[in-house]
């Protein structure tokens, strides 16, 4: 069982972490945030020309003598839909992985817009014995240790502790 499962996501990438305790707290620091897997949004890596037939946005193409007519081709709504679909995929993966680990607390870390999309996708996780924690920050580009420090600083997961014991030739406080 892993008590904490952490999902760090934005509109283009999601990373899944397990907070693993150490087997030998006397010799190893812990717990440690370990990345299990990551997934990418296939739509965000594409150029505008690959997603939309016409790469020019904002006006009809007419002869230079006439005034162009502005129009809305709804590209922003399409991009939001791509992000919603990705959030659906991330939510399913998070609930599945957290369930397999018998996780008690799912921590969602995402930029505010993505967090909004994810909330509905992971609502099935929360019940009487499980907690769902949300943190509106984009930490996807940080290393696992940095993510751990941010979350621990704000009290969302336990902080990493130094080993309790250690070699007898090192005076206490010299770690």
Q: What is the pTM of this model?
A: 0.74
Q: What is the pLDDT of residue 175?
A: 45
Q: Which residues pair with 37 in a beta bridge?
A: 16
Neighbours of 72 (CB within 10 A): 9
Tokens of 88: 């659906």
Region 19-33 average pLDDT: 75
- Residue ranges of alpha helices (H) inside 101-161 are 112-121, 144-153
Helix (H/G/I), strand (E/B), else coil: 104: coil
Helix (H/G/I), strand (E/B), else coil: 5: strand
Task: Please check whether residue 9 is in contact with residue 110, taking contact to mean a CB–CB distance below 8 angstroms.
Answer: yes
> 25: pLDDT confidence band, cut at 50, 70 and 90?
low
Q: What is the pLDDT of residue 26?
A: 61
> 24: pLDDT confidence band, cut at 50, 70 and 90?
low
Closest by Cα among 56, 109, 116 to 83: 116
Q: What is the pLDDT of residue 18?
A: 95
- The structural domains of the chain, ordered by start, are 4-42+71-153 (3.30.420.60)
The model's pLDDT over 56-112, given as tens digits with 9 standing for 90+, comes to: 555 445 555 555 555 555 667 777 888 999 999 999 999 999 989 989 999 999 999
Closest by Cα among 41, 30, 59, 64 to 117: 41
The model's pLDDT over 134-168, given as tens digits with 9 standing for 90+, comes to: 999 999 999 999 999 999 999 999 988 877 665 55
Q: Of all helices (H) and strands (E), which one includes residue 95? A: helix 75-100
């Amino acid at each position: 069982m892993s008590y904490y499962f952490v999902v760090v996501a934005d509109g283009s990438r999601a990373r899944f972490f397990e907070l693993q305790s150490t087997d030998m707290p006397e010799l190893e620091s812990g717990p440690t945030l370990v990345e299990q897997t990551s997934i990418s949004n296939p739509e965000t890596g594409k150029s505008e020309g690959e997603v939309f037939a016409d790469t020019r946005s904002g006006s009809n193409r007419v002869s230079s003598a006439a005034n162009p007519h502005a129009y809305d081709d709804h590209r922003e709504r399409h991009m939001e839909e791509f992000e919603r679909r990705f959030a659906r995929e991330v939510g399913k993966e998070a609930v599945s992985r957290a369930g397999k680990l018998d996780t008690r607390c799912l921590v969602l870390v995402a930029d505010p817009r993505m967090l909004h999309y994810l909330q509905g996708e992971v609502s099935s996780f929360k019940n009487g014995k499980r907690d769902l924690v949300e943190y509106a920050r984009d930490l996807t580009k940080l290393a696992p240790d940095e993510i751990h420090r941010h979350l621990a600083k704000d009290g969302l997961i336990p902080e990493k502790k130094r080993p309790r014991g250690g070699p007898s030739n090192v005076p206490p406080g010299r770690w």
